[in-house]
Amino acid sequence: MAEHRTMQRAALLEAARTLLSEGGTEALTFPALAERTGLARSSVYEYFRSRAAVVEELCAVDFPVWAAEVEAAMERADGPEAKIEAYVRRQLALVGDRRHRAVVAISAGELDSGAREKIRAAHGGLIAMVVEALATLGHEQPRLSAVLLQGVVDAAVRRIELGVAEDPERITEAAVAMALRGVRG
């Protein structure tokens, strides 16, 4: 029975990812989750008490996987500038990933303070990875620089997500160039 519940919970999270990446936070509804998974709506409530609870669990499950990929790319890079470049490139390379799209949709969404706090903490972990590289480069305010650097990444993510005129690769190259020029001060 426990294994069956685990599978249903995983199916609900997978459906939530799809809904978020296809239609943003408005698409994530309990009727839509029920329809996607073939469960009764009442069954969805047995697993999650609210949309925020679904979102919290998605963040808890997906964000660490995504952050670990960014961290691994940074660890493979040699030297602080290469680490910063890896930080930017890996995040932008993950834009097409449904886990990432779901997390981005969530970040923009209307969430309760508990869910928002969890997302902030997860983002904080991501930013902490680049603070060290910035400190090594001699930045006087590495934390502020890291937050601003993440702002460049977030803007590039949104630009790629919009599917605007530029090719995602051009957006990535522009973001990397801006990040590296910026960190050199």
**CB neighbour burial string for 139-151, b if at least 16 within 10 angstroms, e if fewer:** beebeebbeebbe
> What integer pLDDT is reported at residue 45 of this predicted model?
93
> What integer pLDDT is reported at residue 21 of this predicted model?
80
> What integer pLDDT is reported at residue 78 of this predicted model?
95
> What integer pLDDT is reported at residue 20 of this predicted model?
86
pTM: 0.77
> What integer pLDDT is reported at residue 185 of this predicted model?
60
Low-confidence residues of the chain: pLDDT under 50: none
The Cα 40–Cα 102 span in angstroms is 23
> What integer pLDDT is reported at residue 16 of this predicted model?
92
